[in-house]
Amino acid sequence: MEPIIAKGPPQPGVENMPTQTRSRIARLCRTADAHYQCGEYALAAPAYREALALAEESGAARPLELSSLLNNLGVVCKYLCAFEEAEKAYRRSLTLAEGVLDPDDPQIAILYHNLGGLEHARRHYAAGEPFARRSVEIREKALGPGHVDVAADLGALAALPDGQRRFVESEPLYRRALAIFEHAYGPEHAEIAIVLANLAALKHAQGQLAEAGRLYRQSAEMKEKHIGPAHPSLGTTLHNMALLARAQGDEAEAAALSARARSILEPALGDGHPHVAACQTEGPV
């Protein structure tokens, strides 16, 4: 199953800080963002940690500034499977945000979305559902049912019953998210590719192998075009395509796809990451 896309609020403003500190934090955030966009999470995390430390040491950071930095650190820690650090960062971020924002503010929804995604990554699917449902509730109320942020929340929510094999519940949520994204973005977009990958995994789990293959291929082509050939999200889809090819008896195709998935995931995530281990053992991700 495709990891839930974590969401980050706008980068923190640091107007109240000394100019030198403000400039250093801004540079660190730009560096971290660039690594994050390429899927280079191990390089993004130290930059976010340093930016957060500088903001805290300055004594001039406002609660939402710190909340934003903590959230962004939580995002990359989740992708690195540093789950305890991610949870600590997200929960502290949420506490800070709740201290100054209305409970139904869309920025609060971002953190519920990400807490749900963290539980998904831990495979604690039932534990993640209340967070994901709260995120949908907040943003539907604030933004309307057809907003792309609501679609992202729906896709995140869908992955949680999906992980519990409640496919009758999860597929309509994926389909609704897909329809909103396609209406907003047209037929191709990175968010669409993620939903297609999750629908493919759902069909794969249901034994609908031909449909799963079609959706995996569509997702992989879109990911390569929109997020690049070295992004770990593409590697995940290629690995799942390898498992599907093996299930269909095409060992040559499975070997080629698996090798390509490893060539993406190993340098991006490191040997100790569960997705890399899954590739090495030919297990699911």
Q: Where in the sequence is the domain holding 272, given as residue range(s)?
A: 189-285
Domain count, the chain: 1
Query: pLDDT per residue over 182-229, tens digit each?
Result: 999 999 999 999 999 999 999 999 999 999 999 999 999 999 999 999
The confidence score (pLDDT) of residue 16 equals 60
- Mean pLDDT score across all residues of the chain: 91
| C-alpha closest to that of 50 among 76, 63, 75, 32 | 32
User: Would 156 be classed as within a structural domain?
Assistant: no
User: For residue 121, what pLDDT is reported?
Assistant: 93
Residue 30 in any domain: the answer is no
Q: Report the range of poorest mean pLDDT among 160-174, 238-252, 260-274.
A: 260-274
**pLDDT recorded at residue 5:** 40
pLDDT over threshold 60, residue 3: no
Model's pTM, two decimal places? 0.90
What CATH number is attached to the domain comprising 281?
1.25.40.10
92, 111 Cβ separation under 8 angstroms? no
**34 belongs to a structural domain:** no
pLDDT at residue 271 in the model: 78
In a domain, 284, yes or no: yes
Is residue 28, in this structure, part of any structural domain at all?
no
Tell me if 59 is assigned to some domain: no
Amino acid 282: pLDDT = 65
Q: Is residue 115 part of a domain?
A: no
Residue 21 included in any domain: no
Poorest-pLDDT segment among 101-110, 150-159, 226-235, 273-282: 273-282
